Structure 1
Amino acid sequence: MGLFNHLFKGPQVDMEKSNANARKMRELFNSKVENGDDYKIIFGYSEDVGRFNYGFVHGSKTKIGNLIVGWKEEDVTIVVVPTIPDLSECGEPTYYRRNEILKAYRNKYPTDAFIIYPDKKSYIGINAYDWLDDEKLYVYVSQEKELEEFTDFFKQKFSTK
């Protein structure tokens, strides 16, 4: 029975690779955010679905944006730093301070995402999972505990619903 359980578990997290990527995420985040160590961080991603219609061909194309998401309970702030799956570079941070946003909530349908509207014209949807096994599209990192902490923080301090 033990052999069958082992064979049918599905993919397992490579913790050595995950921990190495968690360290890279921290280094990138700290390089862009002042006092970065004061923030807890997780990996998240955003999706941009573009629709197209070329005569007989209808469909959509999804663009994935990888994010390092930091949060700080004392300031009730979320910082989002764009990155790429191999964590070789990152962009500039965007700050979302609770007292400066229009609304925020957790959306369960069609995807589980944390939605933030800084104003009436724009928003960001942050998708986050405990682990995604697709290194071509997502950062390879296991973050079950961190995701639970972020979810609690968002619901308690950020959500306006």
Structure 2
Amino acid sequence: MGFFSKLFKGPEIDMEKSRKNAEKMRLLFNQEVENGDTYRLIFGYTEDVSRFNYGFVHGSRTKIGNLIVGWNEDSQTIAVVPTVPDLSGCGTPVFYRRSEILKAYRNKYPTDAFIIYPDKKGYIGINAYDWLEDEKLYVYVEQAEELAAFTEFFMNRFAGKDGKK
């Protein structure tokens, strides 16, 4: 029974690698965001899908953008810091304050994403999962507990009780 239970269990998370990446995420976030330690963190990503049509050839290309997503319950702020899967660097943070956004909600289809419209001209879709195995595309970090906390914050305090602001 032991052999077959391991066989069908699927891949196991390397908790040491996950812990180290969580520490790197914290360091990068804190260097870019003032009072970064007051934010809780998750890894998220965004997708940019471009479609093409060349006569007989139809398709799409997807670009993945990795994000360190921090949230502060007291100030009701989400800070998004772009990064890369190996956490070797990061970009400039963007802040979304509940009082300043046009609309926020959780989209279930076609992907489960947290959508924020800061104004009428643009939006960000933050996809987040408890763990993604593909280290070439995503940051390797286990975050089931933190993702549950972010989801609760987003739905109850950021987007509103009905899931929409």
Q: Same fold (TM over 0.5)?
A: yes
Structure 1 stretches of 4+ with a deviation exceeding 2 A read none
Unaligned runs of 5+ in 2: none
* Structure-1-length-normalised TM-score: 0.99
- The residue type equivalent to 2:88 in the other structure is S
Other-structure match for 2:93: 93
1:31-73 per-residue CA deviation (whole Å, 9 max, x = no partner) reads 0000100000000000010001112111000000000000000
Alignment partners' CA distance in 2, 1:31 and 1:52: 39
Q: Does 1:61 align with 2:52?
A: no
Q: Which amino acid in the other structure matches residue 89 of structure 1?
A: G
Letter of the 1:101 counterpart:
I
Q: What is the aligned partner in structure 1 of residue 153 from structure 2?
A: 153
Question: 1: distance between equivalents of 2:136 and 2:54?
Answer: 28
3-state DSSP class of the match of 2:34?
coil
Q: Which amino acid aligns with 1:49?
A: V
* Number of residue pairs the alignment of both structures matches: 161
The CA distance in 2 between the partners of 1:5 and 1:66, in whole Å, is 33
Matches within 5 A, 1:10-159: 10-159=10-159
Q: Alignment RMSD, CA only?
A: 0.6
CA deviation after TM superposition for structure 1 residue 90, in Å: 0.2
Aligned counterparts of 2:96 and 2:83: Cα–Cα separation in 1: 18
Q: Secondary structure at the match of 1:8?
A: helix
Provide the rounded CA distance (Å) in 2 between the counterparts of 1:98 and 1:159: 8
| Mapped partners of 1:15, 1:46: distance in 2 | 24
Q: Percent identity?
A: 75
State the distance in 2 between where 1:8 and 1:14 align. 17
Deviation readout 1:15-46 (Å, 9 max, x if unpaired): 00000000000000000000100000000000
